[in-house]
Chain A
Amino acid sequence: MAKPATRAASRRPIARKGAKAKRGMNRPSPTREELINFYRDMLLIRRFEEKAGQMYGMGLIGGFCHLYIGQEAVVVGMQAAINEASTVVTSYRDHGHMLACGMESRGVMAELTGRVGGYSKGKGGSMHMFSREKNFFGGHGIVAAQVPIGTGLAFGHKYKGEDAVCLTYLGDGAANQGQVYESFNMASLWKLPCIYVIENNKYAMGTAVSRGTAGTSLAERGAAYGIVGEEIDGMDVVAVKAAGEKAVAYASSGKGPYILEMKTYRYRGHSMSDPAKYRTKDEVNRMRQEHDPIDNVKARLAEAGVSDDELKAIDRDIRATVTEAADFAQSSPEPDPSELYTDILIEA
């Protein structure tokens, strides 16, 4: 399934007035080092999520737990396209986003087990984690609530004259909420540096896009507001990064928001308690076998002459990181009962 490293991303510029998009022109192919980084970052998410799934099964993680397995290329590619000052906000399916932002595996895992060493001291859990240091603004449990919030972060970037964008991630199901369109209107009206990354993994819980969405091109959803949108192969991290860079250049030059519809797929159920009867095993297997984002990079790495041994060393490192995170998440104590009453208001 090797693909030429220079292959242009499958993209479709929409509502683009004037200039035609240049298809894959002058785009340098990824360096060996870049590919290795993609591999490492995606594999970390994959292994982390597998471990989280296992720990959920053992009762160490409670509540809702939404895994990101299958979608790794989206967040890893986008993160590679932004600068340090940029901000990120997403939904409850947030573990991958946090790892990609550079948050530590152990802190994320310890939040999943509800321990004091977690990013929210155990008070937020899987769906509600944050890191001001890493410019990660959550982790939001209410479908689409993060969309106006991300628009507001972008508003702040513009207000303060920062060279930064906000990556606002949302699902295909979230794209039906009214507040998304209220956000699009304001973002376009005020030319806010907001990149809306719609992770179209084909399902909102048990509802296939075609059953919940009239007019299934989500990239076109901003057309009425004059927002440029593109559809990207979200299983191809190289294509994602290239699209991300273009969107960032556009948004940071003062032209306003941008929509990237990432065609992707989640391998696991919606959450740990989803029997996933709405799709066939075949469909899942086909995606895994033919479109896996990690296999995709592996093939590119082979072409670039990276040896199996080098990859194995990375695998070992990652397993060690994840094991260490799991150990920490189990040995970190539960929060002190007094924590129940802290962090409700800031003492003024």
Chain B
Amino acid sequence: MPIQILMPALSPTMTEGTLAKWLKAEGSAVEPGDVLAEIETDKATMEVEAIEEGTMGRHLVAEGTENVAVNTPIALLLTDSEDVSALDQSPSPVPDVALASATPTQAPAEPRGALPTPALDTDEERFFAATQIQTVREALRDAMAEEMRKDELVYVMGEEVGEYQGAYKITQGLLQEFGDKRVIDTPITEHGFVGLAVGAAFGSLKPIIEFMTFNFSMQAIDQIINSAAKTLYMSGGQMGCPIVFRGPNGAASRVAAQHSQDYTSWYAHCPGLKVVAPWSAADAKGLLKSAIRDPNPVIFLENEVLYGQSFEVPTDSDFTVPIGRAKVVRPGADVTVTAFSIMVGKALEAAEMLAGEGIDAEVIDLRSIRPLDVDAIVRSVEKTNRIVSVEEGWPTCGVGSEIAALMMERAFDHLDAPVARIAGEDVPMPYAANLEQLALPQPESIVAAAKSVCYRE
């Protein structure tokens, strides 16, 4: 019986792809290692290689088909002893597929397509008169490109940002537009190139440093804290350091402890830095532009899982989002839920679930962690009298700990229940799919915490 060839997973976060091109026509001979087809993911075009030898029997998925789910049969391969008549027998999956009965566990697919534009309560609103749908990835790239067109002193530097177009394709096209003077591929030498960029910033350049992921910023943390954050103070205000450190932060999918850590509270601890962590594409763009223009070091925390998600983004290139301002992304009366970055999506899911149980949650996207928009949180708690803080990072000395303390200081008389904290489990990130799922905050845990502060268990 013919062998089924399945749509392969080509990256940790891939769930589907486009079958761009067949390179083996029906009837042609196939050797192991031959390229059968080209698959486009949101990141790149990849080649599918044959594992078995035989003859290409039939293409089950036509060229150009989009959104082909991983593991969908895409072709039938005839083995040596078979002729075309075998194609109409029921195909046997390759033995390995039969073994694959333990269903591969995958991170839940994030919501696709355009999310509803949240209600706005600030002066950013006017920019939303004219918008386009963009992914977070595109929004980040546009923010950099627009600022680089405006200001010659802005340049981008990091590992694989140029010729490779970015490990996560955030800098796509920048090398082509701005050249290798301003889009600079570095060796793998984070402590060195961050120190160099801090020096360049003291000398009034405006570097944008891409960390391939924020996990690798640990190599450079001395230069970030001891040099970038503190020198203005130590020089009595002379030595400003206009620099942006950006890149994906937090868990992606199954990349285990050394590559899955949320550094928000680490950086938020340090005076001399600003720390932002946007969720939507509009905020990603508006905040990155503000960060680049800011005369201070800004830690700009992105999230790999969000890169491919689409949102409405204002088209006006003057659109920016001020650092330090939270945003109510879902108004509500019964309980305040604060979140940032990818957890905003989880909080909104939880709010939907809560609505089904008659609890009207107000979701606040903090966007900026340092400075934190405490007034916005207090205003909400004055109305709801209850608050749940959500973050992906560890609970101890986390952003939630800070919010709990601030609510004690600033909203004590308005609280009808103790502040609740939802955070990542207090463990290094495990690799196993089931354990990873358990280690990360899920909408269900947010729902449970919200019900508990509403005394509705």
Which residues on A are within 8 Å of B, measured CB to CB? 50, 54-60, 62-64, 111, 114-115, 120, 122-125, 127-128, 140-144, 173-174, 176-178, 204-207, 211-213, 272-273, 275, 277-278, 326-327, 330-331, 334-335, 337, 339-341, 344
Contact = CB atoms under 8 A, between A and B. Distances in A.
Nearest to B38: A275
A203 to B, nearest CB: 11
Contacts of A123: 256-257, 430-432, 435
Interface string B21-63: 0000000000000000000000111110001000000000000
B238 interface: no
Interface stretch (B8-16, B140-148, B266-274): B8-16
A273 B167 CA distance: 10
A125 B434 CA distance: 13
Interface residues of B, number: 61
A297 B253 CA distance: 39
B163 A206 contact: yes
Q: Which 6 A-B pairs have the closest CB atoms?
A: A62-B254, A125-B431, A273-B11, A57-B8, A63-B254, A59-B104
Interface of B: 6, 8-12, 14, 43-47, 51, 70-71, 96-97, 99-102, 104-106, 159-160, 163-164, 167, 185-192, 215-216, 218-219, 252-259, 425-428, 430-435, 438-439
A31 to B, nearest CB: 32
B432 A142 contact: no
Nearest to B39: A275
A178 B435 contact: no
Nearest to B428: A344
B130 to A, nearest CB: 35
B45 A275 contact: yes
A206 B164 contact: yes
B12 A64 contact: yes
> Interface on chain A toward B: helix, strand, loop, or mixed SS?
loop
Contacts of B46: 273, 275
Nearest to B215: A142
A122 B429 CA distance: 11
Contacts of A54: 51, 96
Contacts of A204: 187-188
Contacts of A55: 96
Contacts of A206: 160, 163-164
Contacts of A127: 256, 258-259
In this complex, which of B71, B190, B218, B259 has the most chain A Cβ atoms within 10 angstroms of its Cβ? B259
> Interface on chain B toward A: helix, strand, loop, or mixed SS?
loop
A62 B259 contact: no
29 contacts: A50-B51, A59-B9, A59-B71, A60-B104, A62-B12, A62-B104, A62-B433, A111-B431, A114-B254, A114-B433, A114-B434, A124-B431, A125-B254, A127-B259, A144-B188, A176-B188, A177-B189, A204-B188, A205-B160, A207-B163, A272-B11, A273-B11, A275-B45, A277-B164, A335-B434, A337-B434, A339-B432, A341-B427, A344-B426
Given A58-B100, A59-B71, A143-B188, A122 B160 contact: no
B87 to A, nearest CB: 22
B73 to A, nearest CB: 12
A342 to B, nearest CB: 9
A56 B11 CA distance: 9
A277 B11 CA distance: 16
A60 B100 contact: yes
Contacts of A174: 188
Nearest to B9: A59
A114 B51 CA distance: 23
B370 to A, nearest CB: 26
B106 A59 contact: yes
B257 A128 contact: yes
A177 B104 CA distance: 37
Nearest to B167: A205
Given A142-B216, A178-B189, A207-B160, A59 B99 contact: no
A337 B438 contact: yes
A114 B259 contact: no
B426 to A, nearest CB: 8
B99 A330 contact: yes
B9 A56 contact: yes
B20 to A, nearest CB: 12
Contact of B256 (A141, A176, A337, A344): A141
